[in-house]
Structure 1
Amino acid sequence: MDFPQRFSNLPEYAFPRLRTLLDSHEPGAKPIAMTIGEPRHAFPGWVKDVLAENIGSFGQYPANDGAPGLQQAIADWVKMRYGVPVDAASQVLPLNGTREGLFNALIALCPETRGGKQPVVLTPNPFYQVYAVAALAVGAEPVYVPATEATGNLPDYTSLPGDVLARVAVAYICSPANPQGAVADRAYWADLIALAEQYDFKIFADECYSEIYRSTPPPGALQVAHEIGADPDRVVIFHSLSKRSNLPGLRSGFAVGGKDSIARLKQLRAYAGAPLPMPLQAVAEQVWRDEDHVIANRALYAEKYAIADEVLGDIQGYAPPEAGFFLWLPVDDGEAATMKLWRETGVRVLPGAYLAREVGGHIPGADRIRVAMVAEKQEMQRGLIKLRDCLYR
């Protein structure tokens, strides 16, 4: 049987690769999982009550474009958070998790050609693997742009040659960045938006970690686009309740952008999407309207930042993350360090190379490990101390 060749050079997804690397080896002690970014803080206790009150609507087909109340709650949150007024009915699309949106938006919005040539999709390197798979799915050429210490851990798209930029259809950008925790400031967004205006491409801003930060709220792509008067369809932002509200199993996120962009996303959703069940839309509406639990959640991460800084602060090359909940730690070899840590201590982390692609014989992140600070504080502290003593002393 023949299969599409466009996926033939796609590497195995990070976590199956990790299982292949580690699972045939016994851990050195009781395992401490610090790999996947699955929040373990408590979600709001009243969620179960909202779900129970709306349980009967499992008997209804979900509203394809999102229930009006949920659309409005998202629009209100965007106005509150970024100062940008958006029309709930025409500029908001609730998502069944942002992975759906980040993938399907490219199907809906990427043209077949750019100037008669194969379109280019820009992605940071390392990156969230969905970006690359989406590019391949639409027949675009993914161009992996280093996001390393030398570039401030964000991709420098402005440095690309003009012939590449002329073919760009979409640029993905994650801020706060996964895995590095770097934040795109207003100047970065303004430069990128100006570049997109010059070369007429769209920006897909993956902002799923935007509500976990040390002190200053990260600026958003839509916020800066609004401030500088850019085309409203230039930017589509993607957000989630997974990290903000510790509800990864709810699978609730949203896309917000210009009316034309969202109309095309809704058109695709009508045929190929998976709208959130109505009881879960009711929960999501109330969660987007509540900030108290977000503030409490951020305070817990502030304590974790302090623990990480205390335990790892003396390590050469340690860079405290500006935001998000990952540590991006320097090692000689990410795979070797991951194996050593597992076999000697039971601490399970992710090799940085598993989040990147080789370009020009170099894999950004091959000399890094990613460590998720999602466990309960005492467990996280134990894990970091084990990690430090195993790899750095």
Structure 2
Amino acid sequence: MLINERLDRLGENPFTRLNALLAPITPRANERPVLLSVGEPQHAPPAFLAETITANGDLWNRYPPVTGTDEYRLAVTQWLTRRYRLKPGALDPARHALILCGTKEGLYLATQLAVPQVETGRKPVVLLPNPFYLVYRGAAAMAGAEIQPMPATRATGFLPDFDAIPPATLERTSLAFLCSPANPQGAVAGLDYLKRAILLAREYDFILVVDECYSEIWDKAPPVGALEACQALGDGFANVLVFHSLSKRSNAAGLRCGFVTGDEKLLARFQTFRSFGAAQVPMPLQAGAAALWREETHVEANRALYRSKFDIAERILGGRHGFYRPQGGFFLWLEVGDSEAAARRLWQEAAIKALPGNYIGVPDESGHNPGDGFLRVALVHDDATLTGALERLAQVL
């Protein structure tokens, strides 16, 4: 019964809501439908991924280690050290890297691990940016936590303001989510911002979960990371878990292979927790994933393709609908007035699906949903498809 009660708190999946919203509508446009609603990479992964998996085909009959293979953990810690300019030896592959069957699984399980039934004698709190990736809310609801949304609006630089959370709420907080670059706004947390969030987590003894899955899709400069902030503070990785994925970086969403790093004590408990029920990544896939983490040329090429999409969007939408060029990620966060009405018009008149912003947000204490009035538009298609779709979108809006 408890599980069913918590399921009732989840709310409807935003894509289920979108499909229901558009189901009665038959597009009038004679154009091919284009889905700009889902952030699914459309670029091809590098050819060596399939070659590496095939070359390791003799491992399909082996049970994968719950921690990930030694090769995989070494590859990710070496990548983290290079990418975030960490001191040699700061990360131990055996203690600071745990493989995940996609970070969606990891984000959910980390919340179940972190949230107790009672925090300081009262119901525990999970902080999440608002708008948010749907797993943050779902994980918090299924853990039985009180959800405390943190508005991430233009006024806050599209990042949550941790300093606005009352101390009484922070004392009950078990876990806080942060996404940088942010989904959907593309804002990037700076080093000082991350240091402040980490210090707050340590002061009030909650876990700061930093979702950096879009870290390698950036426009002008590589985003700093939470591990860099920990290094700058000089106190190790306590109270911090950082999640990374190959889905966006390497266009390998179907590989279902990511990892979590950070606080070694938390990772040890996480490893034990996963060993009882989480899916493991087959060893040939781990070999392919390790090869992806070791190679950067394909990532640079991928980033260049996304920059081209930013250029297209800026040319077509610049100066309209609150357009700004995101610092990272591959979404536009457009101001359109009535989000649902705009989504219906786009589907009916242009055969384009875009996600109403209020579907990935919740009302705050004043009743305002910070996603109201916005559309999330995913820039994932090839240049020709995207150009035609954005031209139709601009014409309709």
* Shorter-chain TM-score range: over 0.9
Residue equivalent to 1:96: 101
Unaligned runs of 5+ in 2: none
Residue equivalent to 1:35: 37
Paired letter, 2:367? G
Q: CA offsets, 1:161-213, max 9 Å, x none?
A: 11101111111000000000000011211111121122121110000000000
Distance 2:235 2:152 in 1: 25
Aligned partner (choices 366, 372, 377) of residue 371 of structure 1:
377
Aligned partner (choices 379, 394, 397) of residue 388 of structure 1:
394
Alignment of 1:141-220 (within 5 A): 141-220=146-225
Residue equivalent to 2:300: 295
Q: CA offsets, 1:263-300, max 9 Å, x none?
A: 01100111021110111111001011000000000011
Residue equivalent to 2:60: 58
Residue equivalent to 1:253: 258
Alignment of 1:5-24 (within 5 A): 5-24=5-24
Once the two structures are TM-superposed, the CA of residue 316 in structure 1 deviates from its matched residue by 4.7
Q: CA offsets, 1:65-114, max 9 Å, x none?
A: 10100010001011011123311011100110000110111122333322
Once the two structures are TM-superposed, the CA of residue 229 in structure 1 deviates from its matched residue by 1.8
Three-state SS of the structure 1 residue aligned to 2:176 is strand
Three-state SS of the structure 2 residue aligned to 1:89 is coil
Three-state SS of the structure 1 residue aligned to 2:375 is strand
Is the CA contact 1:43–1:247 (under 8 Å) kept in the aligned structure 2? yes
Once the two structures are TM-superposed, the CA of residue 3 in structure 1 deviates from its matched residue by 5.6
Three-state SS of the structure 1 residue aligned to 2:94 is helix
Distance 1:235 1:9 in 2: 27
1:117 and 2:117 aligned? no
Report the TM-score, using the length of structure 2 for normalisation.
0.96
Matched residues, percent identical?
44
Paired letter, 2:50? K
Is the CA contact 1:120–1:164 (under 8 Å) kept in the aligned structure 2? yes
How many correspondences in the alignment? Answer: 391
Is the CA contact 2:321–2:334 (under 8 Å) kept in the aligned structure 1? no
Once the two structures are TM-superposed, the CA of residue 51 in structure 1 deviates from its matched residue by 1.1
Distance 1:248 1:49 in 2: 17
CA RMSD in angstroms comes to 1.3
- Which region of structure 1 is more displaced relative to structure 2, 314-323 or 171-180? 314-323
Aligned partner (choices 140, 165, 168) of residue 145 of structure 2:
140
Residue equivalent to 1:232: 237
Report the TM-score, using the length of structure 1 for normalisation.
0.97
Distance 2:130 2:345 in 1: 25
Distance 2:211 2:28 in 1: 37
Aligned partner (choices 103, 111, 126) of residue 106 of structure 1:
111
Runs of 4 or more above 3 Å deviation: none
Residue equivalent to 2:337: 332
